[in-house]
Structure 1
Amino acid sequence: MLKALKLTEEDENLAGIKASVLHELGDTYRDLGEWDRAIALYNESLEITERIGDVQGKAVTLYKLAGIYANKGDVDEAIALYNQSLEINERIGNFQTEAAMLSNLGILYANKGEVDEAIALFKQSLEINERIGNVQGKAVTLHQLA
């Protein structure tokens, strides 16, 4: 991956590939528990996806960042990032991911003790999963509601 990253440094036409490589490196560091390094790589990838207009790449990167912040205990930052990703997924019609974002937000609000907000988010997720026929997503959301 590092060799691929070096190759993309020299050609702006490869910015999308560079963003993907940085994102994959971020995944690797996240999986190793090196969250600060992962955050730096995701942020670098995010800057590129914003610059080149890769909306879906931006949404995925925001989602990954939110997960790290949630694991670090920075719930407010995680919520803000999930909401940004949610807004993009709503806009581009990525319903399955939208439902997952709502569910993730529901978990964070439940953990904060904001049960009414969590229930509302889980119900939104459930409605989307039912509408698109995502049986697995529906089952997970029903479990979370229970």
Structure 2
Amino acid sequence: MQGFRSLHVWHKAHEFVLSAYRVTAVFPREEQFALTTQIRRAATSIPANVAEGCGRGSDADFARFLQMAIGSANEVEYHLLLARDLNFISRSEHQSLSRQLIEVRRMLISLTQTLRTASFEPRATSYSKPLARS
């Protein structure tokens, strides 16, 4: 299995984390251990799960970690919506982050589907060849 740093989805997810850290840096101080931490934790979980899953031994394991990354993307999507509604981030910041997140989630879903399809394709084996008719 290839290293996680060679995956385009990991790079996009990492860029999203950096953006999330930038916007949460100016959240109100009283949110430091609440919404700020929740957004950062959920955002960081996305590329972290990609990296961890990439190091697993099978496509099925990797797909399972990608599913967790998708779950974290859904979680952070809600937290960003809440931050926008509380006026911690502007509508334009929210739109920018949402665009990044949607792109990452689409890539995760696509990679998950590819891995699951590959897991169910029959493997070529000597006993899978049709028998010669006499």
TM-score (norm 1): 0.36
TM-score (norm 2): 0.39
